[in-house]
Structure 1
């Protein structure tokens, strides 16, 4: 057993002692849920079991054992507006009294559609119940208008439950990411995979003209944060245009870069744009927008609705609850009152403060670690330089240190996304919250020094 293993055992024992009610709830949950909790993601916390939440407000969570946490996970971005923001809560309560879902539009949807176009720059939008569904819809449209079968993604990506994206490079070939079951899909027939930031590999992959679309974040956020190399996004846009490939930008996480997301902030011109999670304040919702050109090509294949035809051709996307009145009402509140330029300015300032505090501790202790900040999002990684691609992450990632850090953080009242060490700010996050993290991170480094790990 390594020193880190022993430290982790100690932290998990401490967690179990200090969270008796959550532990009892976890034991009970395993009697009824397939993975112990309502979602299998909920089992992934490093304490050995999840805390059970009593209430959440602003940037804080209180568990059933009465312990308070500064929440930098924020529902893995679903809570980026903060927990129970007043504007969203009020909008939800008003709409709950007026009806939640009718499969008919409300006039709030007119405001939302216009605002999505203003913010993100694409003229036409469709609502779904999740970013996963939005990605599926965008892929379906790309295949319809190009007649091509394949989707290109970058190794180490994550785009929800999209089958085409559950892949990574393994010995130069398409393999299943994290050994996910192939689910009866021949992924080599539907997917291509290249490393992020590799222009030459991207050009080779697109040269066969069998790729309907490239689905990508503008920078990778789900495998540790992988910054984009200078010129890569420009090359990506040029290559997709030259090869007739649709470019889909997934901003589900990178919307934290600013009011219009990373793409609008940096002048990107996607053919389609996807977002979800925070877009309706945590109410399940996703969006995807398309350019004028994509819309016109689609309308040739699937004409606009003729009301005299009772069963018109359809795209096979959406869902009965998509665009429901509750999601529309909360989405309007988010866009109008929560994810405002003023709030983004404060969120990004707090992210800078957290990044600077962590970098100072790393430098003071001469540790071979780095900190990446993009907008309101920060990542601490246990490697000297930011990775250029998924292969770099696989080669240098310290999963044992990540797990120990997460367990220590939970015991010290800090929550970060359980899959890697990524921090997200919300409008209610304060400088005191950030400074609390800096103090806890300093204690973690001191623990490692005392144990002789660093």
Structure 2
């Protein structure tokens, strides 16, 4: 006999709008200095240092006074448990002591913040990245976006093919080629909202849905794809995890059709000390990493397989030294390299990841229990030290499904409710990230506030 299904809770939208406005009013009353700073920022484009800082639930941003560990303190005197952690940039925590010490030594004792010359730390960082991710040869950048751009140049040059294949709603920074999604007829179209595309994105790129091997093969069969550039799990559209066999299928198809495989681990580094590449036994030709490995100092890197690096260096027609477009004046500077060494050697260690992933598992269990208690049609997904709750059940299996289940008002309500009670989530989605100093008490506090927020909606 089939068990009767339990009806799921439907959130009253009028109640949601009323509660949201109440939280926004409370936020404004509690943050007069931040509001005044924002209102007087007349010389900043969008009133903020970068326009994405206007992705807010509260109407204006929190202005930071200081941050340490997993705590942020604002200019209005409030303290927050920070689960946003700079959208992965501060996965090591804010100002981790070993990284700060390395930065101070470089600045105060050694000097030479940018020299266009190598330091011994660079080889140490390269060797450590090889140990963790497997790629044999590494080159540094200041952002993962730049590392992606330079990797794209290399794979086009080495394969003689013009196009890069992406997953719909992927995240690879501001790389022009990546801003492509699957259109209604299954072909690629420009991602909505893209600013100033140099050409129609279909001239440079192809696209397939995540977890869709048939769609991927259909695109690779054109024979013009230099590389598949992908995240091992989608992240910035909300966590979308790979289905069993999918990532091995991608690797098999790229080899069959002569395309290279680039894994962007900038966010999926949360899967473990060697990212998803090590945790899931992946075999990419190129690995991209950035943000977190510098402990907050701008940095990025791309790693090549031995075979690919040798092939590139043998090509006398490629100018990899001067005008070839695969480097920047400040890339690999002594300060960022010192920060990377300290962070990898002493902060984001294997034991730190063990602690972070265990806490993320606890966080995930807490959220699932609240979802179950209130019979919400939501889901929660975990990617190592990163957890995210979604307004869909089952969880989306590709980027288009993930984008379709967005609920901006509900998301904003939860964000501002938590912020008013001292908890920060990543403003772009409902993502929480653990760092080495996140505690069980911090996770328990999130459970308490999250459950109260949900209860306010359905009570």
TM-score interval, smaller chain: over 0.9
Task: Name whichever of 383-392 and 137-146 sits farther off.
Answer: 383-392
Of 202, 207, 211, which aligns to 1:188?
Answer: 202
Of 256, 270, 278, which aligns to 2:270?
Answer: 256
* Secondary structure at the counterpart of residue 371 of structure 1: strand
In the TM superposition, 1:90-109 aligns within 5 A as 90-97=101-108, 98=110, 99-109=112-122
Q: Whole-Å Cα distance in 1 between the matches of residues 59 and 366 of structure 2?
A: 28
Of 346, 351, 357, which aligns to 1:348?
Answer: 357
Extract unaligned runs of 5+ from structure 2. Answer: 1-12
Q: Whole-Å Cα distance in 1 between the matches of residues 304 and 339 of structure 2?
A: 22
Of 169, 193, 197, which aligns to 1:179?
Answer: 193
Q: Whole-Å Cα distance in 1 between the matches of residues 31 and 123 of structure 2?
A: 47
1:394-429 Cα offsets, whole Å, 9 max, x none, are 333322211111111111111111111011000010
Partner residue of 2:6? none
Of 382, 402, 406, which aligns to 1:397?
Answer: 406
Q: Whole-Å Cα distance in 2 between the matches of residues 205 and 164 of structure 1?
A: 15
Q: Whole-Å Cα distance in 2 between the matches of residues 433 and 312 of structure 1?
A: 48
Q: Whole-Å Cα distance in 2 between the matches of residues 322 and 302 of structure 1?
A: 23
Q: Whole-Å Cα distance in 1 between the matches of residues 394 and 321 of structure 2?
A: 54
* Secondary structure at the counterpart of residue 90 of structure 2: coil
Partner residue of 1:211? 225
Judged with a 3 Å threshold, the aligned counterparts in structure 2 of structure 1 residues 229 and 302 are, in CA distance, closer, same or farther, namely farther
CA contact (8 A) 1:302 1:314 kept: no
CA apart distance, 1:120: 1.1
Q: Whole-Å Cα distance in 2 between the matches of residues 312 and 68 of structure 1?
A: 48
Partner residue of 2:212? 198
Partner residue of 1:426? 435
Task: Name whichever of 338-347 and 396-405 sits farther off.
Answer: 396-405
Q: Whole-Å Cα distance in 1 between the matches of residues 132 and 152 of structure 2?
A: 22
Q: Whole-Å Cα distance in 2 between the matches of residues 177 and 11 of structure 1?
A: 32
Q: Whole-Å Cα distance in 2 between the matches of residues 118 and 131 of structure 1?
A: 19
CA contact (8 A) 1:195 1:201 kept: yes
Q: Whole-Å Cα distance in 1 between the matches of residues 171 and 276 of structure 2?
A: 17
Partner residue of 1:327? 336
CA apart distance, 1:114: 1.3
CA apart distance, 1:301: 1.9
The two structures, once aligned, show a CA RMSD in angstroms of 1.5
Partner residue of 1:236? 250
Q: Whole-Å Cα distance in 2 between the matches of residues 180 and 313 of structure 1?
A: 31
2:58 counterpart of 1:18? no
Of 115, 136, 148, which aligns to 2:149?
Answer: 136
Q: Whole-Å Cα distance in 1 between the matches of residues 355 and 105 of structure 2?
A: 28
Partner residue of 2:39? 27
CA contact (8 A) 1:227 1:386 kept: no
CA contact (8 A) 2:237 2:399 kept: yes
Extract unaligned runs of 5+ from structure 1. Answer: 306-310
CA apart distance, 1:313: 5.5
Q: What is the aligned residue count?
A: 444
CA apart distance, 1:186: 2.1
CA contact (8 A) 1:157 1:223 kept: yes
* Secondary structure at the counterpart of residue 432 of structure 2: strand
Of 79, 90, 95, which aligns to 1:79?
Answer: 90
Partner residue of 1:115? 128
* Secondary structure at the counterpart of residue 98 of structure 2: helix
Q: Whole-Å Cα distance in 2 between the matches of residues 142 and 207 of structure 1?
A: 18
* Secondary structure at the counterpart of residue 40 of structure 2: helix
CA apart distance, 1:263: 0.7
